[in-house]
Amino acid sequence: MSRYADFYRRSIEAPEAFWAEQAQLIDWQTPPQQILDAGNPPFVRWFAGGTTNLCHNAVDRHLAARGDQPALIAISTETGTERSYSFKELHAEVQRVAASLMELGVGKGDRVLIYMPMIPEAAFAMLACARLGAIHCVVFGGFASGSLASRIDDATPKVVVSADAGSRGGKVLAYKPLLDEAIRQSSHKPEAVLLADRGLAPMALTEGRDHLMAALVQKHRDAHVPCTWLDATDISYTIYTSGTTGRPKGVQRDTGGYAVALAASMKHIFDGRAGETYFSTSDIGWVVGHSYIVYGPLIAGMATLMYEGLPTQGMDRQPDGGIWWRLVEKYKVTVMFSAPTAVRVLKKQDAALLKKYDLSSLRALFLAGEPLDEPTARWISEGLGVPIIDNYWQTESGWPILTVANGVEQTRSKFGSPGVPMYGYKVKILHESTGEELSGANEKGVVVIEGPTPPGFMQTVWKDDERFVDTYWKTVPGKLVYSTFDWGIRDEDGYFYILGRTDDVINVAGHRLGTREIEEAISGHAKVAEVAVVGVADALKGQVAMAFVVPKDAAAASDEKTALLLEGEIMKQVADQLGALARPARVRFVSALPKTRSGKLLRRAIQAVCEERDPGDLTTIEDPGALQQIRQSLSA
């Protein structure tokens, strides 16, 4: 049995002993009294009776050994600024913000909603909440007022922390007017608003409610705020799942289990080592930003690089497809985490940029957030010459479900597969209708997790246990299992392949096709840079597949004859790989696909446009013109 296979087996067969070992990776004020309490399934309590604090583990415990080493490196190509904070400096900044929040009435168990761009003050605010035992709820910066209002009403924050504005691609987005309108719309009214003024947009302050962070931080410049020790099962934060429609769905996370899960993942999965530098290109508004920009790297004693800007934008706001690699060289980044979409954007740049900088410090590039297609993985792998490690997880899980654990044993990745189940996760593939386990190779079913779920996994839906059970645990007939809502298969070696959301399946004339499978076939074409496939209602077949392709050479699709030839080639490739049934009804060519600012494709919005429906709230869309291109391509 391989080292990892034995490691995994112990985590499943003896979870108490296994996780008691992992719990030693963090500091406890009081040791846990009970490692695992799974007596009320599907709810799980980890490390009950133990007391700890996320901020202590991320900051304070490193002061003696590496207080002068870099902890937070904040870089903005939007403002041309670069600032590094040592652990000592971060400790001081966090205490100043914590004291400011205390002055505004924040204490243990209070909610603080954070609505901020990717600036160091956002990390200070998150860590300050953790220090005080307050529950932070980070909402992605730039969300529209209506979306923000619904989250204010659900989280009922005592204080909101925000800023005058964010910036993206040189375009300033004023946050304060959006926040003011959200508070006007919300039933719950926060007692105070704490504002970072970047000087990017004018701010009208509401007397008695609004406070400038700079003034309060200066007032508390010498603040000493001790950590509030929390029970391991106390709530650390809530985060709303992206794409939620209707009433917001707040994923609720504990404190001790999350700290242990992150410490273990930094060691076993990411192979991160104290004193090194970790660079995640995500946003604090998403779970990757929580786990692997703020908490995970700092808990591991690493410097974490926080980036505001585009992957193709230099410090002078001029185009620079090598900016990330310049940062890897400058800060000797050892572990990097990004998204497949970002890599596809970089594919359009000169490949020589991957060789321009000294990337010898980089041990691996991790990619997650959406399925990683093989051509993209191969391109970046050959360009960087380091392992490209796919990993699959969700907001709900808090850390990877499927990947490879090179920190335990060097394991090969397979292009197209995120990997194998991580320790603590009992991952199965079940038949969607019968609940029968599909144990054979390449049998397609729903990917589920059997309880008890491991540390770091969501506790429940904020303020709604019933919704937690009904939404996640009752979708497979006769089985109490957590549904990922993703289709998957497992190969003969035990590697999983994710085939797309169960609700993104196209039913063409009674045949079920995953959009993911069609996208994979199309993305393999040499002339294709990006692709999105959606199911569109059809009177005859129920649904048909519609493909929207960004060609590598824009000129290739501008000429009608050339476009038709390329469409024919793509159709043939899909038919050859998946069969004629999977061939899209049409392939439309566009220069950009609509995405959120975090890089996720807005497939449902594309589908809505195709079916002449309202695409819904598009406030998180990176380029509104991309959706207009979809409309225009349909009428061409």
Kindly write down the DSSP assignment for every residue of 17-57, as one continuous string: HHHHHHGGGS--SB--SEEEEEEETTEEEEEET-EE-HHHH
Task: Please state the CATH superfamily assignment of the domain spanning residues 509-635 in this structure.
Answer: ANL, C-terminal domain (3.30.300.30)
CB burial class (10 A; 0-12, 13-18, 19+) of residue 560?
A: exposed
Q: What is the pTM of this model?
A: 0.86
Mean pLDDT (whole number) for 49-61: 98
Angle between helices 624-635 and 603-610 (to 10 degrees): 30
Q: Say which range, 154-163, 173-182, 366-375, 491-500, has the weakest mean pLDDT.
A: 366-375
- Looking at every residue in the chain, the average pLDDT score rounds to 92
- pLDDT value, residue 243: 39
Look at residue 602 in the predicted model and tell me its pLDDT.
Answer: 86
Would you mind telling me the total number of residues written for the chain in this entry?
636
Percent of the chain with pLDDT strictly greater than 70: 96
Q: Which of 20-29, 378-387, 472-481, 535-544 has the highest mean pLDDT?
A: 20-29
Asked whether this chain's domains 3-473 and 509-635 adopt the same fold, the reply is: no
User: For 629-634, what is the mean pLDDT?
Assistant: 87
Question: Cα separation of 291 and 284, whole Å?
Answer: 9
CATH number of 3-473: 3.40.50.12780
* 408-437 b/e (C-beta count within 10 Å ≥ 16 → b): beebebbebbbbbbbbbbbbbbbebeebbb
**Rounded Cα–Cα distance for residues 475 and 479 (Å):** 8
Mean pLDDT of 475-503: 90
Residue 508 is predicted with a pLDDT of 74
Distance CA 628, CA 609 (A): 9
* Domain residue extents for the chain: 3-473, 509-635
pLDDT band at 619 (very low <50, low <70, confident <90, very high): low
3 state DSSP class of 430: strand
Residue 244 pLDDT class (50, 70, 90 cuts) = very low
CA-based angle 371:375:381, to the nearest 5?
Answer: 95
